[in-house]
Chain A
Amino acid sequence: MINATTALKAESRDLNFFYSNGNQALKSVSMPLYENKITALIGPSGCGKSTFLRCFNRMHDLYPGNKYEGQIVMHPDNTNILEAGVDPIEVRMRISMVFQKPNPFPKSIFENVAYGLRVRGEKNNRTVADKVEEALKGAALWNEVKDRQQDLAFNLSGGQQQRLCIARALATDPEIMLFDEPTSALDPIATANIEELMSELKSKLTILVVTHNMQQAARVSDYTAYMYLGEMMEYGDTDTIFTRPTRKETEDYITGKFG
C-alpha cells in the first residue's frame, strides 16, 4: 500500500512520445516510480511499454528524429530528465538498463563489469576491482566466475550473461535500474534466478521492469502499470491490480480475455 513513508524516486508527467516517422507511441502517460520498490509495466505487444521504459534513460536520443513532450522528473533534485538542456549521458549515469537479450561486450567478464567505471574515468585499479567484486556478488554471479574473471564474457551461458549484464549495470551504483523484458530469452531456472535477484536489488535502488509475462509481474513487483495503445490504462499496487482492477480493460487483459 502506498503510504506516507513511500518516497517518490521519479515520476512521469503527461509524457507524449513521437517516433521520427510521426507515429505517436505514448499518449499523456503519467506514473509515479517509488523508491526501493519494483514497478512493473505490462500490456499487449505494441502498447508502448518498452518505448516508455526507454524514455527514462533517453535511449531514443540515439536515433535522430524522435521527440519527447512532457516530463520525467527525478527526485530529490527535481530535474526533468527529458529537458533539452539535460545531458543524456548524465542521465544514463544515474539510470542504467538491462536489455532483453543479454548484450555483453567482447571483453572479459571483469572488463564488462568494469566498463561503466572505466568510462567514468576511474583510474584506481583497486577501486575498480572492489566494485567489480561487489557488483558480481550483487548479481549473484560472483561464486561462479570469481576464478575466471579474465575469461571472455561470451563463454558464459545465457542466464549467466544476463546476470553479468545486471552486474555491469550495478557496478556504477545507479539510482534506478530499468529492465526491458530481462528474462524473455532465458529458460525457467535462469528466469527464477533473475527474479530473485531483482527482489534483492530493490533494497539498494529503484526498479522499473517491462514484462510480457503477467505472472512475472505478479510474482516480483510492488506496483504494476497496465498500458494499452500508448496510454496508461491503470496503475496501482500489484495486489489490487491483479485481484480488484478498477478498469474493465485491465481486467480483460489480466484474465486473458484480451491481448
Chain B
Amino acid sequence: MTTETLKTKASVLENLVAVRAMIRRHKRNDVIFAAIGLIALMLGLLTLLTLFIDLVMDGYSRFNLEFFSNFPSRRAANAGLLSAWVGSVLVMTVTFLTAVPMGVAAGLYLEEYAPKNWFSDLIEINVSNLAGVPSIIYGLLALGLFVYGLGLGESILTAGLTLGLLTLPVVIVSTREAIRGIPVAIREAAYAVGATKWQVVKDHVVKYSQGGILTGVIIGMSRAIGETAPIITIGALTFIAFLPPTPVTEVAPFINFEWLSSGFTVLPIQMFNWLSRPDHAFHTNAAATGAIIIVVTLLMNGTAIYLRYQIRKNIKW
C-alpha cells in the first residue's frame, strides 16, 4: 500500500458540512445562469414584440381600406399602398417562377444524379457561398447584368429575376434536405419494378419531398418579400402612381407580358421611401407598412414552421 504523501485527503465524509455548502453555492450558479440564458434568448423576442407594437401604435391610423387602395401621394394622409402591394405580388410571381423550378431541378440533380467529384463539389461550394453573399451584391449584379447588360431595364422582370437568384440557394438547400429524408428503400423498390431514374425521381422522390421543398420555398419567399437593398439598387422608382399593365386581358391571347417590363415599386421600398422623408406624417405610413410586411412574413414563416413540424410528425415510412 502506498503511503499517503499528503496530509489532507479530499475526503467528503470528513468535510461533509463544508462540501455540502460548496455544492449549494455551485448549484446556485446553475439557476442564475439558466435565468440569464433564458433572458438572453428572450431578448430577441422582446425586441421583436417591441418593434411590432411600436409599428402598430405609430401606424394604426392608416389601417383602413383606403390605405390599400390609394396610390402614393404628396399628402401623407392620402398616400396609400396600392402600387406597392400590387408590385410586390407581381415581383413575387416572377421570383417564384425563377427560383422554384431552377432550385428544385438543381437540388434534384445534386442529390440524385451528380457523382461525387470535383464538379459537384464546385457546385456545392457555390451554393453555400451564395447563401452568404449580402443581398445588396445581388442588386449590383442585377444592375450591371439585367438592367444594363441585357437591357431589361428597371422593371418587374429584373426585380423578379434578382430576387429569384437571391432565393435560389434557399430552395436548393431545402430541396436537398427534403430529398435526403427519403429512405433508400423506397427508391430501391421503385427501381426494382423497372422504373427509369427519371420516373423514380418524378413519381417518388419529388412526391415525398414536396412538403420539405414547400417549406423551404415559403421561407425563401418570405425573405424575398421583405428585401429592400437589391431592389433599391436596381432602381425601383419610389413614387409610382400607376399600376403595371394587367397580365390578363380581355382580348386574345388573354395573357400579355407587358407588365414584366413595367416600372414598379414594392412594399419595403415604399416603406423606405416614406421613412426617409423628414416629414413626420409620412413616418406613420411607414409604420403601417412595416406592420403589414411583418404580419405577412410572420404568417408565411409560421406556416412554413408549422408545415415542417407536421411533416416530421406524420412521416411513417
Contacts and interface: CB of A to CB of B under 8 A. Distances in A.
A and B touch in the complex (CB under 8 A): yes
Q: Which 5 A-B pairs have the closest CB atoms?
A: A203-B1, A173-B10, A94-B12, A173-B9, A93-B12
A77 to B, nearest CB: 6
A72 to B, nearest CB: 16
Contacts of B10: 117, 120, 122, 131, 172-173
23 contacts: A89-B23, A89-B27, A90-B12, A90-B23, A93-B12, A94-B12, A94-B13, A119-B26, A120-B10, A120-B22, A127-B8, A130-B5, A130-B6, A131-B6, A131-B10, A134-B5, A134-B6, A173-B9, A173-B11, A175-B13, A203-B2, A204-B1, A204-B2
Interface of A: 77, 87, 89-90, 93-94, 117, 119-122, 127, 130-131, 134, 138, 172-173, 175, 203-204
Contacts of A138: 2
B19 A90 contact: yes
B20 interface: yes
A175 B19 CA distance: 15
Contacts of B2: 138, 203-204
A100 B188 CA distance: 38
A244 B6 CA distance: 44
B1 to A, nearest CB: 4
Interface of B is mostly: loop
Interface residues of B, number: 16
Contacts of A204: 1-2
Interface of B: 1-2, 5-6, 8-13, 19-20, 22-23, 26-27
A90 B22 contact: no
Contacts of B26: 89, 119, 121
Given A89-B26, A90-B12, 9 more contacts: A87-B23, A89-B23, A93-B12, A94-B13, A117-B10, A121-B26, A127-B6, A131-B10, A204-B1
Contacts of A87: 20, 23
Contacts of A173: 9-11
Nearest to A94: B12
Contacts of A117: 10
A131 B8 CA distance: 10
Contacts of B11: 173, 175
Contacts of A130: 5-6
A203 B11 CA distance: 16
Contacts of A172: 10
A122 B18 CA distance: 12
Nearest to B24: A87
Contacts of B27: 89
A175 B12 CA distance: 9
A89 B20 CA distance: 9
Contacts of A122: 10
A111 B23 CA distance: 21
Contacts of B5: 130, 134
Contacts of B12: 90, 93-94, 175
Q: Which of A77, A119, A134, A173 has the most CB of B within 10 A?
A: A173
A89 B1 CA distance: 29
Contacts of B23: 87, 89-90
Given A77-B13, A173-B11, A90 B20 contact: yes
A94 B23 CA distance: 13
Contacts of A134: 5-6
A202 to B, nearest CB: 10
A143 to B, nearest CB: 15
A3 to B, nearest CB: 19
A153 B249 CA distance: 75
Contacts of A119: 26
A256 to B, nearest CB: 37
Contact of B19 (A77, A93, A127, A131): A93
A126 B12 CA distance: 20
